[in-house]
Amino acid sequence: MSSYPYPMLDKPSMIWSRQTDKSKDIKVHEWIETAGEAEPNWEDYDVTILGVPLSKSSISTSAASENPEAMRQAWKAFSTYNLDEEIDLAQLKAIDLGNVKQHVTNIEYTHQQIQDAMVAMRTNHPHTLPISMGGDHSITAMLVKGWKQAHPNENIGILQLDTHFDLRDPKLIGPANGTPIRNLIESETIQGNHVHNIGLHGFFNAKELKDFADKAGLHYTTMKQARKKGISNAINYALHQLEEEVDTIYLTVDMDVLDIVHGPAAPAATPGGMYSEELFEAVQIAGQHIKVKAMDIVCLDPRKDVGEQSVKSAVHTMLSFLTGYCKR
Amino acid sequence: MSSYPYPMLDKPSMIWSRQTDKSKDIKVHEWIETAGEAEPNWEDYDVTILGVPLSKSSISTSAASENPEAMRQAWKAFSTYNLDEEIDLAQLKAIDLGNVKQHVTNIEYTHQQIQDAMVAMRTNHPHTLPISMGGDHSITAMLVKGWKQAHPNENIGILQLDTHFDLRDPKLIGPANGTPIRNLIESETIQGNHVHNIGLHGFFNAKELKDFADKAGLHYTTMKQARKKGISNAINYALHQLEEEVDTIYLTVDMDVLDIVHGPAAPAATPGGMYSEELFEAVQIAGQHIKVKAMDIVCLDPRKDVGEQSVKSAVHTMLSFLTGYCKR
Amino acid sequence: MSSYPYPMLDKPSMIWSRQTDKSKDIKVHEWIETAGEAEPNWEDYDVTILGVPLSKSSISTSAASENPEAMRQAWKAFSTYNLDEEIDLAQLKAIDLGNVKQHVTNIEYTHQQIQDAMVAMRTNHPHTLPISMGGDHSITAMLVKGWKQAHPNENIGILQLDTHFDLRDPKLIGPANGTPIRNLIESETIQGNHVHNIGLHGFFNAKELKDFADKAGLHYTTMKQARKKGISNAINYALHQLEEEVDTIYLTVDMDVLDIVHGPAAPAATPGGMYSEELFEAVQIAGQHIKVKAMDIVCLDPRKDVGEQSVKSAVHTMLSFLTGYCKR
Amino acid sequence: MSSYPYPMLDKPSMIWSRQTDKSKDIKVHEWIETAGEAEPNWEDYDVTILGVPLSKSSISTSAASENPEAMRQAWKAFSTYNLDEEIDLAQLKAIDLGNVKQHVTNIEYTHQQIQDAMVAMRTNHPHTLPISMGGDHSITAMLVKGWKQAHPNENIGILQLDTHFDLRDPKLIGPANGTPIRNLIESETIQGNHVHNIGLHGFFNAKELKDFADKAGLHYTTMKQARKKGISNAINYALHQLEEEVDTIYLTVDMDVLDIVHGPAAPAATPGGMYSEELFEAVQIAGQHIKVKAMDIVCLDPRKDVGEQSVKSAVHTMLSFLTGYCKR
Amino acid sequence: MSSYPYPMLDKPSMIWSRQTDKSKDIKVHEWIETAGEAEPNWEDYDVTILGVPLSKSSISTSAASENPEAMRQAWKAFSTYNLDEEIDLAQLKAIDLGNVKQHVTNIEYTHQQIQDAMVAMRTNHPHTLPISMGGDHSITAMLVKGWKQAHPNENIGILQLDTHFDLRDPKLIGPANGTPIRNLIESETIQGNHVHNIGLHGFFNAKELKDFADKAGLHYTTMKQARKKGISNAINYALHQLEEEVDTIYLTVDMDVLDIVHGPAAPAATPGGMYSEELFEAVQIAGQHIKVKAMDIVCLDPRKDVGEQSVKSAVHTMLSFLTGYCKR
Amino acid sequence: MSSYPYPMLDKPSMIWSRQTDKSKDIKVHEWIETAGEAEPNWEDYDVTILGVPLSKSSISTSAASENPEAMRQAWKAFSTYNLDEEIDLAQLKAIDLGNVKQHVTNIEYTHQQIQDAMVAMRTNHPHTLPISMGGDHSITAMLVKGWKQAHPNENIGILQLDTHFDLRDPKLIGPANGTPIRNLIESETIQGNHVHNIGLHGFFNAKELKDFADKAGLHYTTMKQARKKGISNAINYALHQLEEEVDTIYLTVDMDVLDIVHGPAAPAATPGGMYSEELFEAVQIAGQHIKVKAMDIVCLDPRKDVGEQSVKSAVHTMLSFLTGYCKR
């Protein structure tokens, strides 16, 4: 390279990642490695990041398929150092595996690929923490099924941050984005009483879905209840409840849990929801819990965003979760 | 209909309201009936909803005239079931009467139509609760005058959620959107000391308007005071005060009471205002009060909205008020 | 109705369609009837309009699924009277059949419904002219297959206004929006030399697709060639060529044929394309031709529109085509 | 001023108009004088510019009221020198009179003020050329009535560039923005056969309006006809026709004559309309004609603009007209 | 003026400032005088306002240069009367000095002009309170250096509301917007332990910058800590700490301290930041402190704003600070 | 790689460039190589592409600095095959060198880097065609000076497509974006009569600049003249004129030559300008000329774009120019 005759240029490969000053500031995209041609040494990695760009399974049209790439662009503006906690995420070794391949017209096929991806992650390097960037909420059912396939004897619990139950009937609309929790219960991947939903509120869940939830034994803390007792208490309570019953807690964050003002890119966000700093606090606490072994972030359509507010919140959510993980 | 040869089609009439699954989920537009050709049986209805698409009376250009239709579109995304309170609004029978007719160039004529509409509602079915969707705040003066015309012996109180006093002088600018409270006082429709305004704050009311308010005996709780004592306490205090003095409390919600971040479509919203969940709490409490007999929502210009945030908040405000009504 | 006690109101059913003056101005939504509960007298109708809200079959995320409803809203601003031609479309009897039912997660199933819808139209009332509002371009393959199923002995030609060949390989990506013409050729629904594409230009078709086109005997006139000889001459030339060979000419308008400035809502529109008045002229000429028996308009995503420019152009395209039809 | 101790500051009065270089480049806002406290010497002025910020008279909500101020801001980006014609508008002496006062709730009163303003202009300095910036098209009726009041013996002709006839019935909707030409004819301010409309096209005028036009003897050249014969020929033909019959030709430019792509801020612009350079050519020719003695530009809502495209076109239209005026 | 023949017009000079009613409501633009040709009587002024439209010094492209003019436009919507505190700012005499002159291509030259402007203010009328509207944060270094040049014997402290330390190294990137605090420390204008930063949070400061801060003795209260102890307590604590050590406290508000939802126009705002009413409270308290003698507001790019939310917050911030000043 | 255990994933490096089908379609980003660590074999390359992300030198704030990266993203949607001309650009070997390094606060330094980059290109591989993506128009002066420095004996001519002369005085504002042509003439890099500008029109050049141009002997064809004689004739005429006089013709395309409707992202685009297909035709002809040896595209601010219309036009401009180059 010494012979490259352009000292005054930033090469293309340097443009995105170029440091304007030569400080030791590490940005997130400089920390997270990306899977390339050579076989990584899987032993070394603490965290794997997976893009799942599927949103054809959404009831309404959604470009949540563009979220993984949007998050990758947005995290270039984040340092690895969390000033509040004085924790540097760079102590973890993380790798971005890329995106699950998508079939243009066969959703079922894509769903199977997603499940296979989780099986492969659990098989190839079961010690790593998988973080999945959706895509819509239908992917959660596939990812959890993949986990179950890899670990058939585990009891899996779900900690769900969501404005909705996601208990619509897949028999009527297929495995769409309103159905994952019911899908998991009815396929006996999980038990209804191993789910705890935090964030339900307002006029956004049919009475019959609540009745289904009650009958299935689901636990839930509404947004109002969570605020009354404090977000951290609500999360800790849910974690305590789940840890008694299950081996693994899967954390799924539907970004529509955010108030519509805080998550404008979540197509189903509503007034009266969670604020972003409440969400960051919630996932950091979850990240600290020993049984929380996987996480996903779903239902964010970057085309609906206002000035990257929501996508940056999604990245912050991921990093806050990892901050908790470092504190274990 | 059995002979309709298109089993694979949704007819036009079904497109908007189609259920993607056949669940018993009732959306608000499926619950609120719409006045058609046949004479409704007025005895049956608990609630009437009236659109008042007038905003030519605004000091600055406003498309608040488009709000009634925007709210009707937006409420298709709301269920009737309030999960927080475990109340189903479908227990009420509600009918959308349509919109007050508008004259293109004669505002005075339109104002008279609005007043007449309230007189007709109070005459035809005085047991129902009228909810009016503005339009700008000038309509409140006409609606309250209509109530007074129908019930000349009642003392009417006003519970006003607003960033402004709305005490500008109609002698100078006509019955415009800055004037309704003064209009009502000076026309002796109401007494100044029967008004309680909650939400005033910042630099958005002239000193002379405050002086007028004080001289007229108006009550008010600023936003800062309301937050200090708690929104629910502030509302309850105002209701207690009014219930001593008046027969009927008319609730008027100027959406510019919202912080500009929470109500971007309210042209006069400002920083430092109310948050949407505070507004929902406030109107739910008001809805529970036996003397609160009418409500309007005004000054929302859907063209200024950001991703339907404000219009959805307006719908939520109406539904939260009705939740309170169910709890009476 | 004489007893309805609200003379000052527009009922909900009147709000959208209300005439601000009582003129005899007929707007398009007042002319096109909508299929309701009662069985229409199919004998009477000249034109049927079908919504095909499928865009999950698009290679990139598209909300072209929202186009049928967007066109229905937009045509409320159009009169039936074409001043340029002194033709009133109201001389035709037209009915909006509604939308083809959509499965949330099974694209193949929806595709079959689309084909069935065309079969039903050709069976129930073969004398009417079907106009289909997409959806993405994948629907054209299904609609033409439906026609072929209903009329197995007909030779069908395609007049395609498009920036692209749409000859990508369905074996690789399924019957997606880049594949319909190849799909039709390879399924032997049509012959390659019965296709004439007008509007190709620039850097938006791979060399191998042109080679496929040439081998399959497709005809095409590039945008530059069409402008050089005049749009009307180009269309007339293509129609003459096709009328020699086929029984039925199916006109398919991919709105991305428009220059990106004229069709901002067509996700694949590019610089260097057709101007809207050129498109109107083209389809009006096609509409006059006796063998042009069906038409569709596809690949318009209303969420990408700028001030309804593109959706209004889509409506104008449909109406210009019908103007030609009246001139037969 | 020599004692002002801030050599490093631009004073507030200089910020908007500051020259970044000290060139002799004269921008339009530096050329057009503004009426201040002192009495101008009316003898000196060739052109008066009047803002008419009324759009409450529009059938649909419009912020065309904001257009005069938007044009004043936008013309700061224009030089007075027309390179194409090598003409410097600075040879004319022009003054901006300000805006007609608006009543908030009484449209009739405002309309009278507009008429009075034209009477005052024709009385105070009848040698100047008045240019009015609307506001909506209702103002044209008032301005022409004012002219007629000041010059009762003149025959006034109208050269109208418009997508619409503007012949709706003021008896039904008052003197609104769809009615000015009919208003003028029915009030006998002008004769129907003294109107020539250029730019009509498509599906945007009811058949009955055309019938009214024909019966009233209106002249019109459709957009298609104008393009076929050439815009300049169409304008010259119309001017020749009018000059035979009338003393004064009033030019009114409804910006919705522009294609929706070229005039996105004109709420009623449609596909298939005039391009901006065609409009500039048309008004420049009109400006050269000795009998064209007044001009207005109406129906532009700056809130609907895309990057100031339309407002800049409106300014260019005014300047092109004045270029023609200089060439007399 | 009595002879001006247009009683029905608002003159241009009156358009922006016109009172729609003739109330005594004083808007901020009517209160703040603007420096004109005549020498002001500097003795009379309590407050000077300075525009510093420089943002070429930003690491990323920013139009913060347009902020001073945007704030001037926005404050026309604010009254001088603060209802919460019952304080009328009109009791202060304030003058807008205009903007510091900008060189198009020489940032160093412009920086010197900024420093000179502060020197001139401190020399010409040292009793007044200077408020500077940036521009980006690089200007703070120049303004404080100007203060130091005028008052070489003073110890200056900095109260900084900011999401960032602004301690990047000017040796690497010049005196850019990430560097002002380090610039001031390294130039020995101030001491590191005379800085107190409130609002740091999340993943937006490199570890090495925190290390630099700690080594330099900077004080800081993170956003989380400030919320935990209460904003007012946090500010008071910082003020107490600084008042022990310094003669003058310079308050600098980087608008990116706001949560991205509350300050969308601050290019570097992030999720998890301060809410606008917290900022108003903070600066009001600072304004009350006898040693706070200057203030700036920086890093707001009006082109990124959503409905003027951020610019209005910037104005409110300035007015809240002055409210505190009145309470001294 | 055979051991990479994720057959169902697209690796990060494949996400952007992934082929949805396995066709031989080559997209532009797959054709243009990017300079990496290893020394390229410069002999092989026909074309070098250089990003020049400088826009701090703009008179008004511009994010034209973001244009090189925006063009790189946008060209992923273009094939290398030009259907109109049946030319595949892949016959050329092209390399993207990256971006000229930028100093944050020292524009002069950055300007020198730009000049040095051109010198290096001319020195290292003088046989290649350099294409530069600005940045603002100030860069043209530096690039041409670099050429002159490398080839001191050449006469350089400028073919400029522009709405403006760019003859403002660098002595007053430094080497800013309004000055490059004057800068080049006054530095005696070129002669005034070796410049031919096509596209000037309207009210956007001061009289004194035209006088300067005439005095300096500049050639120019206004937009109106060019349309009258035909764009291709105008370009050919200019090329003929220049080829007589100079050794090298440098083509500079200021994107503001486009009509504001066709180039919304060019901050200085105006109504009445060039249409995009006219621009493509112009540069293709220029590309064919043997003496045209370099090209730049400047003054496009992607933040102002509408749906990528302008950035896509910029890419198309570059590819059309290369199409011409292939036809030599």
DSSP per residue over B73-141, as a string?
HHGGG-BSEETTTTEEGGGS-EEEEEEE---SS-HHHHHHHHHHHHHHHHHH-TTSEEEEEES-THHHH
Output the CA torsion sign for D172, D177, D178, D179. positive
**C307 — contact with chain F (CB < 8 Å)?**
no
User: Which residues fall within 8 angstroms of residue A89, CB to CB, at 6 or more apart?
Assistant: A28, A31, A80, A81, A82, A319, A322, A323, A326
Where does the pLDDT of residue D282 fall: very low under 50, low under 70, confident under 90, or very high at 90 and above?
Answer: very high
Nearest CA distance, D66 vs chain B (angstrom): 9
Do F209 and F168 meet the contact criterion of CB atoms below 8 Å apart?
A: yes
Residues of A in contact with F6 (CB under 8 A): 35, 97-98, 117, 120
Segment holding E159, helix H or strand E: strand E156-161
The per-residue pLDDT for F15 is 59
Residue positions counted in chain A:
328
Average pLDDT over residues C148-171: 97
CA distance B230 to B236: 10
Amino acid at F197: N
Q: What is the pLDDT of residues B14-28, one digit of tens each?
A: 554 444 445 567 899
What confidence score (pLDDT) does residue B300 get?
A: 98
Q: Taking CB atoms and an 8 Å limit, are F61 and E57 in contact across chains?
A: no
Query: How confident is the model at residue F78, as a pLDDT?
Result: 97
Q: Is A276 on the interface with B (CB under 8 A)?
A: no
The residue-averaged pLDDT of E4-18 equals 64
Cα–Cα dist A151/D15, whole Å: 70
pLDDT of amino acid A185:
98
Cβ within 8 Å, pair F35-A11: yes
Residue F18 confidence (pLDDT) above 60 = no
Q: How much is the pLDDT for D3?
A: 59
CA distances from A30 to A51, A75, A82 (A): 18, 10, 16
pLDDT tens, residue by residue, F245-260 = 999 999 999 999 999 9
**Rounded to a whole number, what is the distance in angstroms from the first to the last CA of chain F?**
43
DSSP assignment letter at C114: H
Cα separation, C165 vs A157, whole angstroms: 50
Tell me which chain C residues have a C-beta less than 8 angstroms from the C-beta of A62: 61
Which ranges of chain E would DSSP assign to H, the alpha helix?
A: 12-15, 28-31, 67-74, 107-124, 138-150, 170-173, 180-186, 207-216, 223-229, 231-243, 276-288, 309-326
C33 close to F (CB below 8 A): no
Chain B residues 184-203 within an 8 A CB cutoff of chain E: 200-203
The percentage of residues in chain E with a pLDDT greater than 90, rounded to a whole number, is: 88
F155-208 pLDDT per residue, tens: 999 999 999 999 999 999 999 999 999 999 999 999 999 999 999 999 999 999
Residue F87 main-chain phi, psi, to 5 deg: -125, 135
**F124 or B190: whose pLDDT is higher?**
B190
Looking at residue B14, what is its pLDDT? Answer: 58
Residue in chain F lying closest to A109 (CA): F8
Dihedral sign for Cα A285, A286, A290, A296, please.
negative
A215 touches chain E (CB under 8 A): no
Arithmetic mean of pLDDT, B88-111: 95
pLDDT value, residue B8: 76
Q: How confident is the model at residue D23 (pLDDT cuts 50, 70, 90)?
A: low
Per the model's pLDDT, the better-predicted residue between D172 and E20 turns out to be D172
Checking if the pLDDT of E24 tops 80, the result is no
Q: Give me the sign of the Cα torsion angle F228, F230, F231, F234.
A: negative
Average of per-residue pLDDT across B23-37: 83
d(CA E262, CA E57): 24
CB-based contact (8 Å) between E10 and chain D?
A: yes
Residue E17 has pLDDT above 60, yes or no: no
Q: Quick one: pLDDT band at residue D1, thresholds 50, 70, 90?
A: very low
CA–CA distances in Å: residue B216 to residues B161, B220, B222: 18, 12, 17
D137 is in an annotated binding site: yes
Report d(CA A9, CA F96) in Å as an integer: 11
Residue B173: closest C-alpha in chain E: E21
Weakest-pLDDT range from A49-53, C235-239, D77-81, E17-21: E17-21
Helix (H, G, I), strand (E, B) or coil at F250: strand
pLDDT above 90 covers what percent of chain C? 88
Judged by CB atoms within 8 Å, which residues 72-101 of B form the interface with A? 78-84, 86, 88
F105, F111, F166, F172, best to mutate vs chain E, most E CBs in 10 Å: F105
Shortest distance between the Cα of B78 and any Cα of chain C, in A, equals 19
Give C11-31 as a DSSP string.
Answer: -HHHHTT--SS---PPBHHHH
Q: What is the DSSP secondary-structure string of E48-97? A: EEEEE---TTSSS---GGGHHHHHHHHGGG-BSEETTTTEEGGGS-EEEE
Question: Which among E22, E25, E316 has CB closest to B202?
Answer: E316
C268 φ, ψ to 5°? -105, 15
Would the annotation count B166 as a binding residue? yes
Tokens of C128: 């009417």
Would the pLDDT of E13 be above 90?
Answer: no
- Cα distances (Å, whole numbers) of residue E242 to B50, E197, E226, E237, F19: 59, 11, 17, 9, 61
Q: How high does pLDDT run on average in chain C?
A: 93
The Cα B51–Cα B34 span in angstroms is: 12
Q: Give E1 or E305, the one with higher predicted confidence.
A: E305
Pick from D79, E199, A192: nearest CA to F164? D79
Say if A61 is an interface residue toward chain C (CB within 8 Å): yes
Q: Which two tokens stand for residue D104?
A: 């908030």
CA pair distance B285, B295, nearest whole angstrom:
13
Q: Is the pLDDT of residue B288 over 70?
A: yes
**Architecture in CATH of F9-326:** 3-Layer(aba) Sandwich (3.40)
| pLDDT score, position B4 | 63
SS3 A197: strand
Of A57-71, C9-23, C86-100, the poorest mean pLDDT is in C9-23
- Rg for chain F (alpha carbons), in Å? 19
Q: What is the pLDDT of residue F266?
A: 98
Using pLDDT thresholds of 50, 70 and 90, give the confidence band for residue F4: low
Closest CA to F143 of F239, F61, F242, F52: F52
B82 vs D166: CA distance, rounded Å: 50
Measure the CA–CA gap between F146 and F126, rounded to whole angstroms: 13
Stronger pLDDT, C155 or B26, i.e. the higher one = C155
Q: At D31, which helix (H) or strand (E)?
A: helix D28-31
Is the CB of E38 less than 8 angstroms away from the CB of D1? yes
C-beta of residue A194 within 8 angstroms of C-beta of residue A157: yes
- Contact predicate A95/A48, CB 8 Å: yes
Tell me the average pLDDT of chain D: 93
Residue B322: phi, psi to the nearest 5?
-70, -30
Nearest CA to D118 out of D189, D65, D27, D13 is that of: D189
Spans of chain A, pLDDT less than 50: 1-2, 16-21
Which residues in chain E are contacts of B182 at CB distance < 8 A? none
Q: What is the mean pLDDT of residues D184-213?
A: 97
CB pair distance less than 8 Å for D4 and E39: yes
Helix, strand, or coil (residue C312):
helix
Q: Is F63 on the interface with D (CB under 8 A)?
A: no
D56 contacts on B by Cβ (under 8 Å): 56, 105, 107
pLDDT band at residue E37 under the 50/70/90 scheme: low
Task: Give the count of beta carbons closer than 10 Å to the beta carbon of residue D244.
Answer: 8
- B37-46, B269-278, E191-200, F52-61: which range is least confident on average? B37-46
CB atoms within 10 A of CB B85: 16
In this structure, are strands B248-254 and C33-34 parallel, antiparallel, or unpaired? unpaired
Local structure of A34: helix, strand or coil: strand
